[in-house]
Chains A and B, each alone.
Chain A
Amino acid sequence: MFSTEERFLDEMGGISLIPPFPIDKVALKVGEVITIKNILTAMIASLALISGNVSAELQVDFLYLSEIRDQGPVLSNILPPPADQGIRGAELAVNDSNTTGRFLKHSYSLTEKSSQDAGQLIDAASEAYKSGNRFFLVDGSSALLTQLAETLPEDALLFNASNPDDQLRTQECHASVFHTSPSRAMLTDALAQWIKARKLKKVLLIRGEADADIKYTDAFKRAAKRFGLKLVDELVWNFDTDLRRAAQRELPLFTQTDEYDLVVVADEAGDFGEYVPFNTWYPRPVAGTQGLTPVAWHRVVEQWGAAQLQSRFEQLAGRWMNSVDYAAWLAVRAVSESVTRTTTNDSLILRDYLLSDTYQLAAFKGRKLTFRGWNHQLRQPIPIVHPRALVSLSPQEGFLHPVNELDTLGFDRPESRCALDKN
């Protein structure tokens, strides 16, 4: 039986900042061969420990690295993204994990480092590694993620909680990097499947000039080709009118092309895209980065038990949970779920467990989530939402896959050059 004291070990409510457990006491040596057998042994041990009520104390520390990027000025700046996005999701998951952990004497902590300077973040990560930290949540550029992966030893696990860049899933893969954030390809595939399922065929594509917009456009064009959609035209928005005043005049003319069934906007920063709906030449729906959007998460998701997660988050953060919060939440939960099952905080055993067939994560999307072995992308259904309601959830019915329907979203094994599981 637990004593009251033990059970309330982490009842402080918020984030505990217990100094990291000396790593040499608990971890296997780096380079030691980790096998499925190790995992099984650990799991069997875990079963014995829980029912026997004697478990070793474990400390798991996360460092949240947030790279502050200058988005540049945007026209529709009415509803800026929350300044604390991401970190709050991680915080909630650490609280959840500590609630679970107190039954097992497992304890989780979270610290944050944010900076505009990638160098500072890498230094902070190296410092944390030296003092025993093995779990890093990253909200930053592809360059930062790659540099971190190359700088830190291989037993440091990096979780990409915000970056949708496809190249991180197709070319620049690292054994120590896991993606809980969906790729752009997953988002645009999810949207393209919905467009197809609604029997819409002809699409007008409008994009901004930013790098991210070009990447979103490329991702959508790939999806359109995969699922047989026709692009009637691709237009680049490079006007400098203040659309808050002139959208009604400018946009209909801008979208006067051959007839389309739907307009897809690629404007990740929200520069002009918010003004496209209801202003197109043909009165057609608008989707993409604005209008009907494919997302990792949104407040309107409330099926599959999500209502409880949403209300816990709102209680903690005083605002709605968004996609970055959710991806950070997922990353912490992915680790803590593995710690619960294996009863170890050894990051290499946990890495193997995350990629094993027995691994599964419940994450309020109606089915279990697993990682793709070839690029360490978390498979997940993609909600398709408008600002006030859930419209659909992809993969759409009928989009079949020989192994896992979730692999109809994003880069399937043959489409990725990574092959991390073939090494």
Chain B
Amino acid sequence: MKKMLLAAMIVAPVISNAAELAYISNEKDDSISVINVDTLKVQETFGVGERPRGILMNKDRTRLYICASDSDTVQVYDLATHKIIKNLPSGEDPEQFALHPDDRQLYIANENDAVVTIVDTETNEVLSQIDVGVEPEGMAVSPDGAIAIATSETTNMLHWIDTKSHQLVDNTLVDQRPRHVEFTKDGRYVWASSEIGGTVSVVDVATRQIAHKLNFKIRGVHSDRIQPVGIKLSSDGRYAYVALGPANHIAVVNAQTFEVEDYILVGRRVWHMDLNADESLLLTTNGISGDVSVIDTQKRRAIKTIKVGRYPWGIRILKTES
């Protein structure tokens, strides 16, 4: 307890003084760009391992985890000292990952090996490796920590993993090339995008069956170019934002009625997104144009484009306490 308090005291000043920062992984520059969300300018760029893609933060926002796909490792970056403090054994070609609510167990999808690796981020131990389908990519852990889901791009399934027994318990077939999964805050549904299928499946966690399937249609864009990848759910449960890849648009979906309300034009080949603390801004990574679009979620349009490194892919915003 004493230790935790001490840790909180050290961390607290850093958070309260800092502005909101967005961390963006640049897949082909082997670097992370840091955008100051108040000024909307890149304030720092630092080098990491090869082909960084998935990134995420721990609970107390002291660490940034980075999937360095071609270095076959997950790097741990200390947000206070601005240093890579260790490389975790991740299995081959880590692409996306998810942190268990216990803030320790990291679930990593190893795209080349058709396995999910579970790593203890404290002891650096590999706890388990679970066989899943071909090219696992999307990874999520349910809010209660009971279930982890990996999507396999070539097998076209969601693989349900029991986080206690580390066993595969079920598989749900979805449309072609599922790339990303996201649990709703209440843990009742999981949203899964199918890039080539062009759809998003909303899967009921209780039955593990598809409850709703979303289709997208943008005037003047061929349906084959509508390729959903990233999904971001607003914390009030009202909206889902879906990045549509080479269609260069973000779909704004009413998360209650499952209707698409709007399409927002962004940069080319949009991959992933994150919301700022008050969710007034949505930042998107645009792979081909090499920039980040800043969307005003009220006005539902892009208000600024920020140049970052080559092929920006993952994005996480370090939120200040509100």
Residues in A lying within 8 Å of B, measured CB to CB: 1-2, 7-8, 46-47, 50-51, 53, 96, 99-100, 103-104, 305, 308, 311-312, 315, 337, 340-341, 360-362, 366-368, 405
- Decide if B155 touches A99 in the complex (CB within 8 Å): yes
**Given A7-B168, A368-B224, A405-B222, A99:B133 Cβ within 8 A:** yes
A366 to B112, CA, bound (A): 19
- In the complex formed, the residue of B with least CB distance to A367 is B224
Complex interface: chain B residues within 8 A of A1 (CB): 167-170
Complex interface: chain A residues within 8 A of B177 (CB): 305, 362
- Looking at the assembled complex, report how far the CB atom of B248 sits from the nearest CB atom of chain A, in whole angstroms: 13
- Decide if A362 touches B154 in the complex (CB within 8 Å): yes
B145 within 8 A of A: no
Complex interface: chain B residues within 8 A of A368 (CB): 176, 196-198, 224
A96 to B154, CA, bound (A): 8
- Decide if B170 touches A51 in the complex (CB within 8 Å): yes
B300 within 8 A of A: no
Count A/B pairs, Cβ under 8 Å. 81
Q: Per a CB cutoff under 8 Å, which of B133, B167, B170 touches A100? A: B133
Complex interface: chain A residues within 8 A of B209 (CB): 47, 51
- Decide if B173 touches A362 in the complex (CB within 8 Å): no
- In the complex formed, the residue of B with least CB distance to A100 is B155
Residues in B lying within 8 Å of A, measured CB to CB: 93, 111-112, 114, 131, 133-135, 152-157, 159, 167-173, 175-177, 195-198, 207-209, 222, 224-225, 227, 246
Chain B interface main SS type? loop
Complex interface: chain A residues within 8 A of B207 (CB): 51
Complex interface: chain B residues within 8 A of A7 (CB): 131, 168
- In the complex formed, the residue of B with least CB distance to A8 is B131
A-B contact pairs, 8 of them (CB 8 A): A1-B169, A47-B173, A96-B134, A100-B134, A308-B111, A308-B112, A360-B196, A368-B224
Question: Nearest 4 CB-CB pairs, A to B?
Answer: A362-B196, A100-B155, A362-B176, A367-B224
A93 to B222, CA, bound (A): 29
- In the complex formed, the residue of A with least CB distance to B179 is A305
- Decide if A100 touches B154 in the complex (CB within 8 Å): yes
- Looking at the assembled complex, report how far the CB atom of A418 sits from the nearest CB atom of chain B, in whole angstroms: 24
- Decide if B196 touches A100 in the complex (CB within 8 Å): no
**Given A51-B207, A367-B196, A305:B173 Cβ within 8 A:** no
Complex interface: chain A residues within 8 A of B227 (CB): 367
**Given A99-B155, A312-B112, A46:B224 Cβ within 8 A:** no
Complex interface: chain A residues within 8 A of B173 (CB): 46-47, 50, 340-341
Q: Per a CB cutoff under 8 Å, which of B111, B159, B208, B246 touches A51? A: B208
- Decide if B171 touches A50 in the complex (CB within 8 Å): yes
A367 to B159, CA, bound (A): 24
- Looking at the assembled complex, report how far the CB atom of B209 sits from the nearest CB atom of chain A, in whole angstroms: 5
A104 to B156, CA, bound (A): 12
Complex interface: chain A residues within 8 A of B171 (CB): 50, 103-104
- Decide if A366 touches B246 in the complex (CB within 8 Å): yes
- Decide if B135 touches A305 in the complex (CB within 8 Å): yes
- In the complex formed, the residue of A with least CB distance to B194 is A362
- Decide if B114 touches A99 in the complex (CB within 8 Å): yes
**Given A99-B114, A311-B112, A360-B197, A2:B168 Cβ within 8 A:** yes
A51 to B201, CA, bound (A): 15
- Decide if A51 touches B155 in the complex (CB within 8 Å): no
Complex interface: chain B residues within 8 A of A96 (CB): 134, 154-155
- Decide if B157 touches A100 in the complex (CB within 8 Å): yes
Complex interface: chain A residues within 8 A of B168 (CB): 1-2, 7
A315 to B112, CA, bound (A): 10
Complex interface: chain A residues within 8 A of B246 (CB): 366
- Decide if A361 touches B176 in the complex (CB within 8 Å): yes
Please indicate which of the listed interface residues B111, B171, B196, B225 has the most CB atoms of chain A within 10 Å of its own CB.
B196
A341 to B157, CA, bound (A): 11
- Looking at the assembled complex, report how far the CB atom of A45 sits from the nearest CB atom of chain B, in whole angstroms: 12
Q: Per a CB cutoff under 8 Å, which of A311, A312, A340 touches B156? A: A340
- In the complex formed, the residue of A with least CB distance to B69 is A307
Q: Beyond A2-B168, A104-B171, A367-B224: 7 further Cβ-contacts under 8 Å?
A: A103-B133, A103-B157, A308-B112, A315-B112, A340-B156, A360-B196, A367-B196
- In the complex formed, the residue of A with least CB distance to B165 is A1
Complex interface: chain A residues within 8 A of B155 (CB): 96, 99-100, 103
Complex interface: chain B residues within 8 A of A2 (CB): 168
- Looking at the assembled complex, report how far the CB atom of B269 sits from the nearest CB atom of chain A, in whole angstroms: 10
- In the complex formed, the residue of A with least CB distance to B177 is A362
Complex interface: chain A residues within 8 A of B167 (CB): 1
- Looking at the assembled complex, report how far the CB atom of A341 sits from the nearest CB atom of chain B, in whole angstroms: 8
A1 to B154, CA, bound (A): 22
- Decide if A53 touches B135 in the complex (CB within 8 Å): no
Complex interface: chain A residues within 8 A of B176 (CB): 360-362, 368
**Given A340-B156, A367-B224, A368-B176, A308:B135 Cβ within 8 A:** yes
